[in-house]
């Protein structure tokens, strides 16, 4: 805990890495250096927020009006009231007690932490500068920069009471998803210059994604976004939480999904194949999940020749001969094994192929890998969120009202139309999760109270994610996935199950 994180500099983007990075363009922000910041405590101010329920006063109701009566005239004195006899019991005394009134104590807000005053919470948001990216690298991506959508959501939060009365003070910075340079700069700007309490979204792209450790590691600043590995979480002193599902948990989640949808029993013996050594922990967890579910896993191995097509194919040919003798009928691929997948596709329907991370295969619909039209059954796990998704309805309505125009999901966009969908998804989910946890943390908002609130949150739902949860050992919220199969005829991933709880 508290260790400094060094960021590798000098990444030189090539055309292939730039092309790959834009396919993961819905992530965002963080950067870092080895510098540390000495925190200066601001003078404390105190704001008392009036309780939302005003105290009530109980008044005696007006007495009902009696009907008038007319008594006959008389000259006799009015009758006197007789004294009660000594034996008569005294009349019972009646006492009327007004119902007690209750008043909620006022919420007292203070300057509780760096970036948190009695009136505001300074929130950083980082996102890809698509306009500059297109200009710099000659692409023609149609993604809109996130700025307008993010501002719409911030305005919504503040118009609906902020977070326990504190307003969101937004600082939005951009980065380019190729290499660490602009990510590092964004981290320094938000953590050192602006002293934000939290950063939303997270960095993505070759060389930039690894800079995510800058905020929760180097600068002890909460990050909501990215997909932290267990090793990265161990380096973080501040909470690092993702609304998505981590790669470390994805293998087990995929196995759960196959079981829940009744597709596990038909797989037969499985070979787990990793793209490189970095995926070995995920492979081990996936193998354990398969074995626990009663599936035989005779082979689990990773490719030691990643990046070398000839060596990859030679290695795979040896493995497949062994797999055939072991009766393997399904190959579970872990990681971006491009050369291996192309070889497997050309084998036709000899093997069913499982793709661990369906999010990385989203691009196949627009740019399918070589040989996929020859492949046998391909299954993966994905989230299918569209304009018609009832779990996204409130988010879509809110953003459309703020922008003043319709926001279409990618499946409904015509070629060349501007894509606001990525910004909509990331903004709604990031802010919803932050607001949920920060509200649960209470008026004394600090890193520690935020962590305690996240760890005690349990199960909940959010835009596009009907099943979500957080806990002491669970920093990635999404528990919702759908089983998908590649439609060879039309060339796209087709949902073959409803959204399923895979926890």
How far apart are the C-alpha atoms of 200 and 451, rounded to whole Å? Answer: 15
> What domains appear along the chain, each with residue ranges and CATH number?
15-32+108-241+386-477 (3.40.50.2300), 248-383+483-501 (3.40.50.2300)
Q: What are phi and psi of 483, to 5 degrees?
A: -80, 135
- Number of Cβ atoms within 10 Å of the Cβ of 307: 11
Q: Is the pLDDT reported for residue 19 higher than 50?
A: no
Encoded tokens for 340: 């291996």
User: How open is the CA angle 169-173-179, to the nearest 5 degrees?
Assistant: 150
- Number of Cβ atoms within 10 Å of the Cβ of 386: 14
Q: Is the pLDDT reported for residue 329 higher than 70?
A: yes
Among residues 5, 6, 31, the alpha carbon closest in space to that of 186 is found at: 31
At residue 316 the predicted structure's pLDDT band, cuts being 50, 70 and 90, is very high
Among residues 366, 425, 414, 435, the alpha carbon closest in space to that of 168 is found at: 435
252 Cβ contact list (under 8 Å, min separation 6): 285, 286, 288, 289
Cβ distance 208 to 179 under 8 Å? yes
Q: Dihedral of CA 188/190/195/201: which sign?
A: negative
Which range is least confidently modeled, 59-68, 81-90, 243-252, 478-487?
59-68
- Number of Cβ atoms within 10 Å of the Cβ of 69: 5
pLDDT digits 0-9 by tens, 172-194: 999 999 999 999 999 999 999 99
Q: Which pLDDT score is estimated for 69?
A: 38
Read off the pLDDT of each residue in 423-448 and give the average, rounded to a whole number: 97
- 171 beta partners: 124
Percent of the chain residues topping a pLDDT of 70? 80
Average pLDDT, the chain: 84
Q: What is the largest CA-CA distance in the chain?
A: 130
Q: Is the pLDDT reported for residue 251 higher than 90?
A: yes
Among residues 249, 495, 491, 493, the alpha carbon closest in space to that of 389 is found at: 495
* Sequence-ordered strand ranges (E) for 72-211: 107-110, 120-128, 167-175, 198-201
Read off the pLDDT of each residue in 128-146 and give the average, rounded to a whole number: 96
Stretch (H or E) spanning 454: helix 447-455
Helix (H, G, I), strand (E, B) or coil at 48: strand
At residue 38 the predicted structure's pLDDT band, cuts being 50, 70 and 90, is very low
Q: Which pLDDT score is estimated for 456?
A: 97
How far apart are the C-alpha atoms of 371 and 164, rounded to whole Å? Answer: 55
Q: Dihedral of CA 150/166/455/219: which sign?
A: positive
Q: Count of alpha carbons within 13 Å of 404, Cβ hemisphere only? A: 1
Among residues 476, 338, 18, the alpha carbon closest in space to that of 207 is found at: 18
Helix (H, G, I), strand (E, B) or coil at 99: coil
Cβ distance 201 to 29 under 8 Å? yes
Tokens 């409130």 belong to residue: 394
**What's the pTM?**
0.79
Cβ distance 261 to 293 under 8 Å? no
At residue 391 the predicted structure's pLDDT band, cuts being 50, 70 and 90, is confident
CA dihedral 430, 435, 440, 444 (to 10 degrees): 110
- The angle that helices 421-441 and 147-159 make with each other, rounded to 10 degrees, is 30
Cβ distance 178 to 12 under 8 Å? no
How far apart are the C-alpha atoms of 308 and 364, rounded to whole Å? Answer: 22
User: How open is the CA angle 119-122-123, to the nearest 5 degrees?
Assistant: 135
């Amino acid at each position: 805990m508290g260790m400094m994180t060094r960021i590798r500099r000098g990444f030189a983007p090539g055309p292939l890495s730039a092309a790959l990075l834009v396919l993961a363009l819905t992530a965002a922000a963080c950067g870092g250096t080895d510098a540390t910041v000495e925190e200066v405590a601001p003078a404390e101010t105190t704001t008392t927020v009036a309780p939302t329920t005003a105290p009530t006063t109980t008044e005696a109701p007006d007495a009902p009006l009696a009907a008038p009566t007319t008594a006959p005239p008389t000259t006799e004195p009015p009758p006197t009231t007789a004294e009660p006899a000594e034996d008569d019991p005294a009349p019972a005394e009646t006492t009327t007690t007004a119902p007690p009134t209750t008043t909620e104590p006022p919420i007292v807000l203070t300057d509780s932490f760096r970036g948190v005053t009695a009136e505001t919470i300074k929130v950083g948001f980082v996102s890809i500068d698509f306009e500059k990216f297109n200009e710099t690298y000659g692409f023609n991506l149609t993604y809109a920069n996130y700025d307008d959508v993010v501002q719409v959501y911030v305005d919504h939060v503040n118009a609906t009471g902020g977070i326990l009365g504190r307003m969101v003070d937004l600082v939005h910075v951009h980065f380019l998803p190729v290499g660490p340079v602009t990510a590092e700069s964004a981290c320094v700007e938000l953590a050192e210059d602006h002293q934000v309490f939290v950063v939303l979204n997270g960095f993505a792209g070759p060389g930039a994604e690894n800079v995510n450790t800058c905020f929760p590691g180097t600068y002890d600043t909460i990050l909501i976004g990215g997909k932290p590995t267990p090793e990265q979480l161990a380096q973080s002193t501040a909470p690092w939480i993702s609304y998505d599902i981590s790669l470390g948990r994805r293998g087990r989640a995929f196995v759960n999904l196959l079981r829940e949808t009744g597709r596990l029993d038909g797989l037969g013996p499985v070979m787990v194949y990793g793209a490189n050594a970095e995926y070995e922990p995920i492979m081990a967890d996936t193998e354990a999940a398969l074995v626990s579910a009663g599936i035989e896993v005779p082979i689990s191995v990773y490719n030691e020749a990643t990046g070398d097509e000839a060596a990859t194919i030679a290695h795979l040919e040896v493995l497949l001969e062994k797999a055939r003798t072991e009766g393997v009928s399904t190959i579970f691929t872990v990681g971006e094994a491009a050369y291996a997948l192309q070889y497997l596709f050309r084998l036709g329907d000899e093997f069913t192929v499982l793709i661990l991370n369906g999010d990385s295969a989203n691009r196949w619909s627009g740019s399918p890998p070589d040989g996929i039209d020859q492949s046998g059954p391909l299954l993966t796990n994905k989230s299918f969120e569209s304009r018609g998704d009832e779990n996204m309805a409130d988010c879509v309505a809110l953003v459309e009202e703020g922008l003043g125009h319709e926001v279409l999901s990618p499946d409904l966009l015509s070629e060349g139309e501007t894509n606001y969908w990525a910004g909509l998804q990331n903004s709604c989910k990031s802010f919803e999760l932050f607001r949920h946890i920060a509200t649960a943390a209470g008026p004394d908002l600090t890193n520690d109270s935020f962590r305690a609130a996240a760890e005690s949150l349990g199960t909940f739902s959010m835009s596009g994610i009907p099943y979500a949860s957080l806990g002491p050992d669970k920093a990635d919220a999404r528990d919702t996935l759908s089983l998908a199969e590649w439609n060879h005829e039309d060339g796209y991933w087709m949902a073959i199950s409803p959204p399923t709880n895979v926890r």
